[in-house]
Amino acid sequence: MVIQTTINKPKFMSEVRHNWTKEEILAIYNKPLMELLYEAATIHRVHHDPNVVQVSTLLSIKTGGCSEDCGYCPQAARYHTNVDGNDLMTVNQVKAQALRAKSGGSSRVCMGAAWRNVKDGPEFDQVLEMVRTINKLDMEVCCTLGMVTENQAKRLAEAGLYAYNHNLDSSEEYYKEVISTRGYEDRLETIDNVRKTNVTVCSGGIIGMGESVEDRAGMLVALSTLDPQPESTPINALVAVEGTPLEDEKPVEIWEMIRMVAATRIVLPETQVRLSAGRTQMSREGQAMCFFAGANSIFAGDKLLTTPNPDVSEDMKMFEMLGLNPQKPFTKKVQPQTVEADNSEYKGLGEKPKWTRPEHKIERNESKKKEALELRKQ
């Protein structure tokens, strides 16, 4: 017997809107929880199979030593954290990790490099070769390499890239409180450059950085007004790392995470909503509620770039218990064709990026720190 898990689409639920207002999203976020869950879960079933969850493995191909000042990030060279920097991995190392991820049930490998932006040259050529190699393993390939120009995005597309991740992080207003070395418009420009190719866009943010609920709604306004909306949206809960300006932020409550996931599902109905950083702080019950609220993707592997993540076997046990199945690769979009390096149409086309360098400077929030210390004493 086939159990029907999706429902017919009432018109208001199948609509993808690009004109959400902050007030509307706030009203959704603040609904009584049971109503919010019911609405989000219903919309989820209209657009997705609720028993399928996409599994990605995040691989840090170049760790630490970054010139930027993202207040949450232990990889920024200017903060004193315990992150050991590494040079760019070799193609063979990446291939071995990708095969391991595939055998663990991942359909996607996301490669992250701690760079402000991509620079044309041997290192970028090496990344392109990694993309070709993983695409040939019949896995979806995603990269998160910082800002990219249009030509670089096209070269990644030719290599067989499936998705490019570039998070908006927060609302435009709060972004300035967390990052000062590049602006919100730079982020949007990179997303725009990726959109000029057939590579899908992955963009989301982080909650628990001291932002208000209005800022969370503001980020969802920014994501929903992108046309098309991102194909995937990671919702991270801050992992406060000692040595970063946000080290004293208190952990995100599970209810905030559930509300954020549900609101994201309603506002971005077709997007894959990903539970990302902060999953180690969540119980299985909490994660199950997030899946019910519309999350349908996770990062697997014991590390997320530099912060801890649940073990793959733990995740598979959770999937079994909840009756969830990992999504097969290329379910949403066909596998990109790889163009070999010698045949690249865009090779050698240099461009001058127009990224900004804003003047303001991120400082530790002393009053927040005091507040957090007081809370810990209670």
Nearer to ligand SF4, 76 or 220 (CB): 76
| Phi/psi of residue 294, nearest 5 degrees | 120, 0
Between 76 and 222, CB nearer to ligand SF4 = 76
Q: What is the distance of C-alpha 288 from the center of its chain?
A: 19
Count of residues touching ligand SF4 (by CB under 6 A): 9
Amino acid at 116: R
Q: 275 Cβ partners below 8 Å, 6+ apart?
A: 235, 261, 282, 287, 290, 295, 297, 298, 299
* 315 lines the binding site for ligand SF4 (CB under 6 A): no
Kindly tell me which of 130 and 139 has the beta carbon lying closer to ligand SF4: 130
Instruction: Give least dist CB 291 to ligand SF4, A.
Output: 27
Tokens 């959400």 belong to 20
Region 131-190 residues binding ligand SF4, contact defined as CB under 6 A: 146
CA distance 240 to 145: 22
| Cα 237 from Cα 240, distance rounded (Å) | 9
Kindly give, in sequence order, each residue whose CB lies less than 8 Å from that of residue 51, ignoring residues fewer than 6 positions away. Answer: 5, 323, 324, 325
Contact 48, 296 (CB under 8 A): yes
Q: Which residues are catalytic?
A: 66, 70, 73, 110, 142, 202, 274
CA dist 95 and 277 (Å) reads 24
What angle, rounded to 10 degrees, do the helices at 150-159 and 122-136 form? 40
- Dist. CA 70–CA 182, nearest whole Å: 9
Q: Nearer to ligand SF4 by C-beta: 178 or 268? A: 178
φ, ψ dihedrals at 143, nearest 5°: -130, 150
Report the run of H or E that residue 314 belongs to, with start and end.
helix 312-322
| Minimum CB distance to ligand SF4 smaller for 61 or for 252 | 61
CB of 144 to ligand SF4, least distance (A): 8
Which of the residues 48 through 107 are near ligand SF4 (CB under 6 A)?
66, 68, 70, 73, 75-76
The CB-of-130 to ligand SF4 minimum distance in angstroms stands at 18
Nearest residue (CB) to ligand SF4, 74 versus 336? 74
Q: Identify the residue among 58, 98, 114, 191 touching ligand SF4 (CB under 6 A).
A: 114
Q: How far is the CB of 26 from ligand SF4 (least distance, A)?
A: 27
Q: How far is the CB of 163 from ligand SF4 (least distance, A)?
A: 17
Residue 356 · residue 117 · CB < 8 Å: no
CB of 113 to ligand SF4, least distance (A): 8
Instruction: Give the footprint of ligand SF4 on this chain (CB under 6 A).
Output: 66, 68, 70, 73, 75-76, 114, 116, 146
